[in-house]
Amino acid sequence: MGITFDEKNRLFFIETRSTTMCLALTDEEGILNNVYYGSRVDRGDISYLLRRGEYPFVPSENDRDRGCFFDYARMEFPTSGIGDYRTPSVILIDEKGHDSSLFTYKSHRIYEGKENLYAELPGGDRVRIPGTFAEDKVSTLEIKLSDGVLGVSAYLSYSVFEGIDAIVKSVRLVNYSDRCVIIDKLMSSTLDLERGVFDNKSPEVVTLSGSWARERRMDVRLLKRGSVEVYSSRGESSHQFQPFMAVAEEGAGESRGRVYAQTVIWSGNFICGAGADQFDNIRAYVGINPQHFRWDLKSGESFQAPEAVLVYTEEGFDGMSHVFHNLFKEHLIRSPYLHKERPVLINNWEATYFDFDTDKLLSIAREAKKSGIEMLVMDDGWFGKRNDDNTSLGDWTVNEEKLPGGLKRLSSELTQIGMKLGIWFEPEMVSPDSDLYKAHPNWAISIEGRTPCKLRNQYVLDITRREVRDHVFDAMVNILKSADISYVKWDMNRQLSDLGSVELDPSSMGRLSYLYTLAVYDLQERLLKEFPDLLLENCSGGGARFDAGMLFYSPQIWCSDDTDAYERLSIQSGTEMLYPLSVMGAHVSASPNHITGRTMPFDVRCAVAMSGTFGYELDITKLPDEEKNAIPEQVEIYHKYSEIVREGDYYRIARESETHEYDAWMSVEPGKEKALLTYIQVKAAPNVKGRLIRLKGLDPDRKYNLRLIGADNEDSLFCSREKKSLWEKTAPAEALSGRALMNAGIVMPAVWGEYAQFMIEIG
Ligand code: GLA
């Protein structure tokens, strides 16, 4: 691992454990090209990949056709208007309205370590932009490129961490001129490849898309000439698309195939795209969506684009996921809870919605405690006069009619029961029907003269303004100091629209979306500084803020409002493409499910929720006895296996979206001593054999026993007698090597009826 510069051949080698990226400078002008990114290669002279000698694209020898070179080369920082007609990484507009730029090499530095990224909010508050970090074992290359005409420099930064096959990249623009330059677009990363890296076959573009309650399902399509883009212009990373795109060799599978993937560590508007051109070059890019973005970079100012993460692997999507998971776990999530067992919680949202009071909550808590549940999360509806979703956001005072004695009484009664308290907030919002809005109508983001669009009957506060942000912060602090509160669910239930801030002058109005995201970060940073032990879970109408930026603050994120275990199979397996199981909020809810009406067995709902941060989202006092009685065993199983789930490496065995009959995944302890397999039969089929599945990630030479979870317990409510006897008929009779289990596989019994779970301890 490391970064070197071959001065003679003007080549930068950026190496991770098993990949190399090689950036080359053209000798004439110092245009930065990305000539190679792939499996590790020697640091030889591969500058021929610049294709300088290829007729007629010879910039030095053929000035007549200079543009052809620009439109053909693998540009590392492509600009607009100079002869590269593909999608640029940057568009700058000078004071005369011209939109051309060209950046050439000035200098570079290679250093051990990595610098944090910062940006400024109006009023001068300096905010750290979420990004990867490491105390040591990280090296960085910073290349300075400049446009001499504009007087603007671009600092391109590349960091590599020991043992992690990812390159983290960021860009900062500095205006050294005495004029203002408008940044119309700035990508965090543009990666140029040639189709040859995919053996001259069209690659596949993989994205994760969805909507409310059906987030992050995998989409795959062939990349022909033209382009594909996914994006958010909603002021959050969104339900609709995940900030992620992979370009993979056609037919790449879970365990094999070349995959180039990029994401951006950012919770606001983004764009990820890939295009193929006339020469079969492929250009893939990620960064802030240029829609709703326009930055007036004044003389002396700088602008920092968020960090992009680049992953290359030959080991398919599992290989890609492992890199993202490890990078995020080791170098992005800061929370002290990262490696700790999270409390099993019960959330009252689906139990009561807005219709609750202290007595109802306490009766849920008492019943939950008997089952081993450890924390009650009081969701929406505890403040102002909020008995439905039309009112009171912004009025963060306890509704004493519902909660007499306030949070103090609730929390002390919970303490007596032996339960912790968590609460819900939606700090960024204001209801038109609220004291806050009446007092400060212009605190909402809006455009003068235009009636702002309401979503869920609410507006978004302009937290880019310091007084608004301070007000929100103080309101939260007051509440959190008023009682013993261990956990906050930070929600955000509408997207941004009507982008106007009374504090930004017209030339800076295009900054608003970026600043908004920064303001959210600032608030969460301040909150965690004030309450370092707080367990924070981000949420946005379910999973619209499931992104790497949020992981910098919260070690877990609510995955989706859809808690239907069948739906969760595809939502969770999409989420796991990038994010480790330890961050995925997953709860068991009542059946029939409130959103889909689907009925599913309690043990299956539990098995699916157990591969995330586990909890319940139901009224335990109303559960049928057979379900209520099953909870203590479920909680025990969660505690027994939560470490493997949290710390283990995740492997996809089968996706229901492909098999249509079953889904299966594994978590394997880092030392490979133990593993956990979860197998869900979704559909019953007549006259079928049991499914042969091959296990993954085990130590080939180690012997493993397989145990059906719940089988040792005679009266298990998690594992029925019928299931035990089915398993006994197909399970291996003795310990087998990892090699046998991974190659010969095991047989999962076919079960009569739909929806069955088998959780198998391997070790
Ligand atoms: C969002 C969240 C839910 C719940 C409601 C409350 O939809 O995702 O879990 O908290 O808000 O209004």
Residue pLDDT, tens place only, 549-585: 999 999 999 999 999 999 999 999 999 999 999 999 9
State the DSSP code for 419.
Answer: -
Radius of gyration of the chain (CA): 27
Is the C-beta atom of 542 inside 6 A of ligand 1?
A: yes
Question: Does the pLDDT value for residue 63 go beyond 80?
Answer: no
Q: What is the pLDDT of residues 11-28, one digit of tens each?
A: 999 999 999 999 999 977
61 pLDDT band, cuts 50/70/90, is: low
What is the predicted pLDDT for the residue at 55?
67
pLDDT digits (tens, 9 = 90+) for 155-184: 999 999 999 999 999 999 999 999 999 999
User: At residue 211, does pLDDT exceed 80?
Assistant: yes
CB 380 near ligand 1, within 6 Å: yes
Residue type (1 letter), 723: K
Distance 536 CA to ligand 1 centre (A): 15
pLDDT band at 145 (very low <50, low <70, confident <90, very high): very high
Q: What digits encode the pLDDT tens for the residues 423-473?
A: 999 999 999 999 999 999 999 999 999 999 999 999 999 999 999 999 999
* pLDDT (0 to 100) of residue 32: 97
- Give the pLDDT confidence score for residue 66 in this predicted structure: 77
What is residue 44's DSSP assignment?
-
Cα–Cα dist 179/201, whole Å: 47
Residue type, 533: D
Give the model's pLDDT for residue 2. 94
The predicted structure's pLDDT at residue 62: 66
If pLDDT is split at 50, 70 and 90, which confidence band does 312 have? very high
Q: Which helix (H) or strand (E) holds 625?
A: helix 625-628
Collapsing DSSP states into helix, strand and coil, what is residue 323? Answer: helix
Q: Which of 673, 670, 674 is nearest to 647 (CA)?
A: 670
Predicted TM-score (pTM) of this structure: 0.98
Angle between helices 565-575 and 602-609 (to 10 degrees): 10
Determine if ligand 1 sits within 6 Å of the CB of residue 546. Answer: no
Instruction: Classify residue 689 by its DSSP letter.
Output: P
pLDDT of residue 635: 98
pLDDT computed for residue 28 by the predictor = 74
Return the residue whose CA atom lies nearest to atom 2 of ligand 1: 541
* pLDDT grade for 65, boundaries at 50, 70 and 90: confident
For residues 591 and 567, is the Cβ–Cβ distance under 8 A? no
Q: pLDDT at position 110, please?
A: 98
Q: Which atom of ligand 1 is nearest to the CA of 539?
A: 8
Closest CA to 16 of 248, 239, 327, 481: 327
Q: Which residue has the tokens 């992104």?
A: 547
Q: Which residues are catalytic?
A: 547, 627
Angle at 614 between CA 609 and CA 617, to 5 degrees: 80
pLDDT(606) > 90 = yes
Give the residue, by CA position, lying nearest to ligand 1 atom 6: 380
**Is residue 130 reached through a cis peptide bond, with omega within 30 degrees of 0 on the bond before it?**
no
Residue 643: φ, ψ to 5°: -65, -40
Q: What is the DSSP letter of 398?
A: B
Tens of pLDDT, residues 395-420: 999 999 999 999 999 999 999 999 99
Phi, psi at 216, each rounded to 5°: 50, 55
Would you state the torsion angle of the CA atoms of residues 308, 311, 317, 319, taken in this order, to the nearest 10 degrees?
Answer: -130
Q: Which atom of ligand 1 is nearest to the CA of 424?
A: 10
Average pLDDT score, the chain: 97
How much distance in Å is there from the Cα of 525 to the middle of ligand 1?
Answer: 22
**pLDDT above 90 covers what percent of the chain?**
96
- Give me the mean pLDDT over the 657-667 stretch: 96
Helix (H) or strand (E) holding 717: none
User: Tokens 């283990």 label which residue?
Assistant: 648
Quote the ligand 1 centre to 418 CA distance (angstroms). Answer: 26
Task: Answer whether residue 56 shows pLDDT above 70.
Answer: no
Give the angle 238-239-243 at the CA atoms, nearest 5°: 55
State which ligand 1 atom lies nearest to the alpha carbon of 379.
10
Distance between CA atoms of residues 332 and 604, nearest Å: 32
Q: Measure the CA–CA gap between 426 and 488, rounded to whole angstroms.
A: 10
Q: How far apart are CA 248 and CA 41, in angstroms?
A: 20
- Which of 350, 353, 380, when mutated, tests ligand 1's pocket best, judged by the most ligand atoms within 8 Å of its CB? 380
- The residue to mutate among 350, 353, 424, having the most atoms of ligand 1 within 8 angstroms of its beta carbon, is 424
Cα-to-centroid distance, 762 and ligand 1 (Å): 37
Classified as helix, coil or strand, 274 is: strand
Residue 389 CA to ligand 1 center (angstroms) comes to 10
Measured from the CB, is residue 493 less than 6 Å from ligand 1? yes
What is the tens place of the pLDDT at every residue in 486-519? 999 999 999 999 999 999 999 999 999 999 999 9
* DSSP one-letter code for 306: P
| Overall size of the chain counted in residues | 763
